[in-house]
A = this chain, B = another copy of it.
Amino acid sequence: MEITILGTSSAIPIPGRNLSGTVLKYENEHILFDCGEGTQFSIRKLQLHPSKIKTICITHLHGDHAFGLPGLISGINYSNKSDYLTIIGPQGIKELLDVSQKHQQFFADFPIEIRELEFMESPGVVYESAYYSISAVSLNHRIPAFGYRFDEHTRSGKLDVDLAEKLGVQKGPLFRELKEGRSVLSESGKLISPSDVLAEPKPSKSFCYITDTRYCSRSIALAKGCDLMMHEATYLHELKAKADETGHSTALEAAMIAKEAGVKKLVLFHYSARYPNLNPLYREAISVFPATQMGNDLETLRIE
């Protein structure tokens, strides 16, 4: 499972820091979190296939997180291979895309499902596939904003084929029953339970994406125990008043969320252009949460 950061700048792009967008690569599918202007350029630069993007989660509609959406959809359409797209985000996305389609005539030759979220006090599942689920919770910004969490479904351990056959389980449909967690009968009529023949379940991976929010206890509930949390760190804590006024977090607050949620790793991003040097933000965060890393544009993070 790989996570590639497309942009780490807040509000305006500066040299070396583009606007928000992060791609999670899971199996043969890409999930995109946020889509600031220029997202389609970074996706092409990284030679990712736009048509592999099947799900887009938009935190909120401010331009630096959403102006790239119509361009990216056009790009996916040009790639000519997509079969469907799900877009999840705050209310308003549908009208924005409808008006853009009406006047700009960008069409998608594939169905687009838009899921507009209402206020969510507690984390809830907003998307579910056979292999993973995506949850969301409302954040605390100037306009409706949502944090997202990706959870891989627990995957069963490997079946010990030799052992199963030795216990008298016939190869075929019974193997599938065992893999899916159901007990079966052996040839001699003995009950064989999955734990008899399956290795330990593989640990499922989780990722959390939280940006454009003041320090928010709902973020802690969302990020609880996850493997990797990306969290915005727009300001140093000395600008806490400005952070509150503009609806953002300080590096210290991001680290506090990471600590309280017990995440394994914190990756900061969404830096104010006033910080050409990110070291002060880093030092502030590691004072509270040592397992912090500064996110960089076009960097790929791995969850092993």
Contacts and interface: CB of A to CB of B under 8 A. Distances in A.
A142 B104 CA distance: 11
A95 B104 CA distance: 11
Nearest to A36: B71
Given A13-B41, A37-B37, A38-B41, A104 B71 contact: no
A74 B63 contact: yes
A28 interface: no
A39 to B, nearest CB: 9
A96 B98 CA distance: 10
Contacts of A75: 12
Contact of A40 (B37, B95, B105): B37
A84 interface: no
A143 interface: yes
Nearest to A11: B78
A71 B103 contact: no
A68 interface: yes
Highest count of chain B CB atoms <10 Å: which of A63, A64, A95, A142 = A63
Contacts of A67: 37, 67, 70-71, 74, 104
Contact of A104 (B12, B38, B63, B102): B63
A189 to B, nearest CB: 64
Interface string A87-113: 000001101100110111110000000
Contact of A63 (B15, B63, B71, B96): B71
A17 to B, nearest CB: 11
B12 A66 contact: no
Nearest to A104: B61
State how many copies of this chain the complex holds.
2
A40 B13 contact: yes
A239 interface: no
Contact of A38 (B14, B37, B66): B37
Interface string A6-24: 0000011111001000000
B13 A105 contact: no
Contacts of A71: 37, 63, 67
A218 interface: no
A44 interface: yes
13 contacts: A12-B74, A13-B41, A13-B44, A15-B44, A15-B45, A37-B68, A37-B71, A61-B103, A63-B74, A66-B104, A67-B74, A92-B104, A96-B100
Which 10 residue pairs spanning A and B have beta carbons closest together?
A92-B103, A37-B71, A99-B99, A61-B104, A67-B71, A61-B103, A63-B74, A63-B106, A38-B38, A12-B78
Given A12-B75, A62-B104, 14 more contacts: A14-B44, A37-B41, A37-B67, A37-B68, A38-B38, A63-B100, A63-B104, A64-B74, A67-B70, A67-B74, A92-B102, A95-B99, A96-B99, A99-B99
